[in-house]
Amino acid sequence: MSKSYTLDELLAIAVAKEINDYENVVLGVGVPMTAGALAKALFAPHATLMMESGIVDIRPLLSLNNIADAHSCKGFSYATDLFSAFTATYRGFVDVCFLGVGQVDKYGNLNTTVIGDYDKPTLRLPGSGGAADFISYSKRTVLTMRGGTFVDKLDYLTSPGYLEGGDSRDKTGLFPKGSGPSALISTKGIFRFDPVTKEMYLSQIHPGVSLENVRKDIPWDLKVAPDLTETMRPTDEEIDFIRDFAPELSAGRQLAVELRAAYQMEKSRLHCV
């Protein structure tokens, strides 16, 4: 009998399986970094993992705190500057990038800037960083959703998905043809985008999650694949890797916050000694 697992672990493993061997991959911290490390170890040994900060071809030791964390340098091939890291996407170097979701609409447009009115927000989010650039110019983008919400209309458009759907993204002439979101992976299922309408639909559902439970989060009439399948259960090897690499992901969010705060305090103490 295989080990039990958390939905956060399943999310990271599902994200890892979106990486193909020999692809060039831009990763952020958190779930994407864990997924990239897992893919490199088990699924895609020749994938090139790259940080937004310019560290290229890494084998990270553990889950990172930020894009300039020194642990990102383990086994790296070379380091470049931030400008070169961004312009690499314009030259078609990046095959796939991963972006977290604050708000997302049915066409994969993202808000990671503010919740509520821009001038008087209910919540101010981290902002774009490199997100708008990477979703614009990477060959494809995988969206990850640990929290976040599905909405009919974004409070703020931070990063362009398929705009109004259909061919509206291609018609702008601003993006490489065929680029854009390829999947959204949440703790409940895997969503993909219709090749014609570009509307998000449910492609796979995670074990133990009901369709009604997925639909209650979606404010529009969610389309479901006629051949809807269940996400494959993680193997013990996959679960063990996640728990070794990013134990805070397995521990639950509240404990993760406490562990990270304790780590930062200890790092500050050692720095002052």
Where are the chain's structural domains? 7-272
Question: Whole-model pTM?
Answer: 0.86
| pLDDT of 38 over the 90 cut | yes
Which has the higher per-residue pLDDT, 268 or 179? 179
11: which 2 tokens?
Answer: 């999310």
Backbone angles phi, psi at 136, to 5 degrees: -75, -35
Which has the higher per-residue pLDDT, 148 or 248? 148
pLDDT, tens digit (0-9, with 9 covering 90-100), for 187-211 = 999 999 999 999 999 999 999 999 9
Q: Which of these, 61, 82, 86, lies nearest to 73 by C-alpha position?
A: 61
Q: With bands split at pLDDT 50, 70 and 90, how would you rate the model's confidence at 20?
A: very high
Which has the higher per-residue pLDDT, 243 or 129? 243
Q: With bands split at pLDDT 50, 70 and 90, how would you rate the model's confidence at 171?
A: very high
3-state secondary structure of 106: coil
| pLDDT of 231 over the 70 cut | yes
Q: Which of these, 179, 183, 210, lies nearest to 194 by C-alpha position?
A: 183
Superfamily per CATH, domain 7-272: Glutaconate Coenzyme A-transferase (3.40.1080.10)
Q: Distance between CA 212 and CA 261 in Å, rounded?
A: 36
- Work out the average pLDDT over 23-34: 87
**Read out DSSP for 131-142?**
HHHHHHHSSEEE
